[in-house]
Amino acid sequence: MAQTFQTYIFLDLESTGLAHDCPRITEICLVAVHLHSLQNPERDEAGDLLLPHVVDKVCLCVDPVIPLTSKAAHMTGLSNEKLSLNQKQSFSPELLGLLRDFLERQDQPICLVAHNGFSYDFPLLKTELQRVQGDFSGPLSCLDSCKVLRTIDPIPNSVRIWKGYYTLPEVYRRFFGKEPQRSHCAEGDVLTLLMIFLHKAQDFLRWVNIMSLSWAKIVPMYTP
């Protein structure tokens, strides 16, 4: 029987590199939005979509312990030196506890949403949770927004297929006709994803039960 998720938690991670680099998290952001706000989006006087006012948010920088690749440092603007000078802590059991408390505060059931989440964010997060010998408790589902967009926003025959068609900045430009405010930082990417979801909320909500997976089915990116 299909369930109605009451809270959607939009998630983005920044890290030290790509999947083949066995990366570590450098930044994590979660923004929890209730179903009511997704079904009843706020708009300004011109009728343009606004970000929901009532949200819960956790954004943290994390000391990855290992060096960032040069590409990751260039894209995110983060560096090991910056994180160290600002006394950021590594991923720890205390951080796991904070994330668990954040999830437990939300109206249940919950669905995590991340762009390319099935291939990157969810497996990497599960690896970091395993590293501290923990995991999220209770039922939890997750959705890859990129996979949904490939269904609800297929590439037109007139458009040459190219790798960047479903990147967050490109989808945002296509839907809103302008650049996202911030890219390649966890909070900026989460808010960009949330606006994209709001723009196609009816379609996303229609497909979520078909395309979401149980968190228990997510396989870690690598063995820590």
Exactly one of 36, 115, 184, 199 is catalytic; name it. Answer: 184
How far is residue 219 from each of residues 29, 83, 117, 129, measured CA to CA in Å? 21, 28, 12, 12
Rounded to the nearest 10 degrees, the angle between the axes of helix 145-152 and helix 186-199 is 30
Residue 113 bridge partners (DSSP): 10, 143
Active site residue 115: no
Query: Checking DSSP bridges between strand 110-114 and strand 7-15, what pairing results, if any?
Result: parallel
The two tokens of residue 137 are 């408790």
Q: Helices H, strands E: what count in the chain? A: 9, 6
**C-alpha to C-alpha distance for 21 and 71, rounded to whole angstroms:** 12
SS3 12: strand
E strands, 5-84, in order: 7-15, 25-34, 56-61
The two tokens of residue 53 are 């006012």
CB 190 within 8 A of CB 196: no
Query: Checking DSSP bridges between strand 56-61 and strand 25-34, what pairing results, if any?
Result: antiparallel
* Active-site annotation, residues: 184
